[in-house]
Structure 1
Amino acid sequence: MDERPDQDVMTNPRADRVRRVARLAGRSSRQREGLFLAEGPQPAREALRAHLGIVGAPQWRPGAVVEQLYVSERVGDRDAELAGLVERAAGAGVPVRRATDEVLAAMSDAVTGQGILAVCRIPDTAAEAVLPGLGDPRLVAVLCRVQDPGNAGTILRAADAAGAAGVVLAAGSVDPFNPKVVRSTAGSLFHVPLVTGADLAATTRMLADCGLQVLAADGQGPVRLDRPPSGLLARPTAWLFGNEAQGLSAAELALAGERVAVPLYGQAESLNVATAATVCLYASAMAQRGA
């Protein structure tokens, strides 16, 4: 039996509504519905802040981010600021439903329930719609067939922290609206303009038209990140980061003006792509700021 519309707390983890929300963990359901899950306090907090116009990249239009919100009865006890955002969102017309921890766990892709879950709208992520709105970008991260959700989410979070103007996920990369990616961004998903499913060659041409040089993070590159040519890292830059197992292909490397290696001072064979991306993005960010 499903919950009655006037019931205060959702208690049935097998209800139709619960199943519909849970199906958004799958890519086909996300594409069909145009919705995704932001699970847990920090992703939900940033989704609500974007919805209320407090933060958010331009593609996250205020008032058009959060479609539905499901919260634990104890959300106010756990996080007063988050409870205040929930109250403001409810006042702005977002449907808010209270739910038991069992119901929230049934909706969630996470191993354990997170106490709050926001159902959010997927924005327009086409390169033609997003890139012209970047203005005069200084730093962009481009993911080339990065397929691990944790890696993709960590790179997106690092790009946000480094002040990047945007993140591009080329065709063959993981869906950034995968629940595992969303959780690993810790809310940064809502701060940085995103391009998904991009044709890499066409996108790098568009980035070059915006005035960015293209650098490839390549462990075998002839340029070392700690000894770059004078002024290289201070220029507006789009960084290419490759697949976890294969790195950047010959065709992908050919799109870059320089191949840059992160030096290894110890005995590690290589760096994880997310770690390498963080180092490269911060090297550019600090050089561009005169650090």
Structure 2
Amino acid sequence: MPDLTNPRAERVKAVRALAGRSARLRHGRYLVEGPQGVRELVREAPDAVVDLYLTPEAAGRHIDILAAAHDAELPVRTATPEVLRAMSPDCQEVLAVARTARVTLGALLAGSPRLVSVLHHVRDPGNAGTVIRASDAAGAGGAVLTEASVDVHNPKVVRSTAGSLFHLPVVTGAPLAEVVAALHAAGLQVLAADGGGEWDLDDLLDLVGDATSAAGAPDLAAPTAWLFGNEAWGLRPEDRALADAVVRVPLHGRAESLNLATAATVCLYASARAQRRS
């Protein structure tokens, strides 16, 4: 028999409440939903795990998660599908409760990253999570969500990272000017991604390694932090002014624009490619 069978139990209500920001802040805990996110949490940050919940059927399907949890001596509880759905309708019968941990900007920069993503006024959870995932895939050394951005522990953000949240340091809550100053002090150039940018990303890629590069052109092979703005209005003039250069992603077809996550992925991979070639 599963350990938990009552979907109206107080424990179930307490877990479900963590979908809300106020409960997350009050208890210092958040939800990790689905086998991929939970798998990476257990592998990469077992000390953060408070509880792990699976149905007996899911435990049989995801033996690797169960084995890693047992190796780390983590508390594992089985529950009926009804209980797991009551805790989270999006967990696919695998759910973890994790402790929140604040990552400082100093700790991120102590790793001497050559590529960082900075999200400012990014409000959509899916976009934020996808940019974190793209940052991880491109080999970035970290990501920053400024004080004006979505809560990184929002369940939709965590789910959208597909486990990448546990692969690289993610800083939250810092003012943009403070972030840019720290990045500059650490030796990173800051490039703002904006459709009206002076520099074309394709042109900058063509200039990598060219001794006759255009005067003043940013070097994509240099340590770089990319600054991405709000989904609707992008970056304000005062935000763009903080950057060393403003770069546009070229549109070769008839599309009016790219969404934030797609544009961010293109920029991050352009830097990753340039840095590999240098």
For the aligned pair, the TM-score class normalised by the smaller chain equals: over 0.9
Out of 250-259 and 69-78, give the one that drifted further.
69-78
How many Å separate the matches in 2 of 1:266 and 1:195?
36
Answer whether contact 2:53 2:76 (CA < 8 A) is retained: yes
What is the CA–CA distance in structure 2 between the aligned matches of 1:67 and 1:247, rounded to whole Å?
A: 38
Q: Distance in 1 between matches of 2:28 and 2:110?
A: 22
**Aligned equivalents of 1:189 and 1:248: distance in 2?**
24
Query: In 2, distance between residues paired with 1:191 and 1:75?
Result: 24
> Which residue of structure 2 lines up, in the alignment, with residue 226 of structure 1?
202
Amino acid at match of 2:113: P
The corresponding residue for 2:84 is: 104
Structure 2 Cα separation of the partners of residues 277 and 106 of structure 1: 35
Give 1:180 deviation, angstroms: 0.5
Match of residue 260, structure 1, among 247, 257, 260? 247
Unaligned stretches of 5+ residues in structure 2: 209-218
Alpha-carbon distance in structure 1 between the residues aligned to 2:274 and 2:125 = 29
Q: How many residues align?
A: 267
Offset of residue 109 of structure 1: 5.2
Residue 198 of structure 1 and its aligned partner are, at CA, apart by 1.0
The TM-score, its normalising length taken from structure 1, stands at: 0.88
What's the secondary structure of 1:215's corresponding residue?
strand
8 Å Cα contact 1:50/1:65 also seen in 2: no
Post-superposition offset of 1:251: 1.1
- DSSP 3-state at the match of 1:239: strand
Query: Displacement of 1:172 after TM fit?
Result: 1.1
Q: Determine the C-alpha separation between the residues in 1 that align with 2:61 and 2:123.
A: 34
What TM-score results when the alignment is normalised by the length of structure 2? Answer: 0.92
Q: Which runs of 4+ in 1 moved over 3 A?
A: none
| Residue identity opposite 2:83 in structure 1 | V
Over the matched positions of the two proteins, sequence identity in percent amounts to 56
Residue 8 of structure 1: how far off its partner (Å): 4.8
Aligned partners of 2:56, 2:62: CA distance in 1, in Å?
12
Amino acid paired to 1:120 = A
Report how far residue 82 of structure 1 moved. 2.0
State whether residues 45 and 166 of structure 2, in contact with CA within 8 Å, keep that contact through their aligned partners in structure 1. Answer: no
The equivalent of 1:131 in structure 2 is: 108
Question: Which residue is 1:194 aligned to?
Answer: 170
Amino acid at match of 1:46: E
Over residues 209-244 of structure 1, what are the superposed CA-to-partner deviations in whole Å (9 max), with x where a residue is unaligned? 111000000101010000018341100000000100
State the SS of the aligned residue for 1:9.
coil
2:36 aligned counterpart, secondary structure:
helix
Paired residue for 2:24? Answer: 30
Matches within 5 A, 1:1-291: 8-52=2-46, 64-89=47-72, 92=73, 94-108=74-88, 110=90, 113-128=91-106, 130-134=107-111, 136-228=112-204, 230-231=207-208, 232-290=219-277
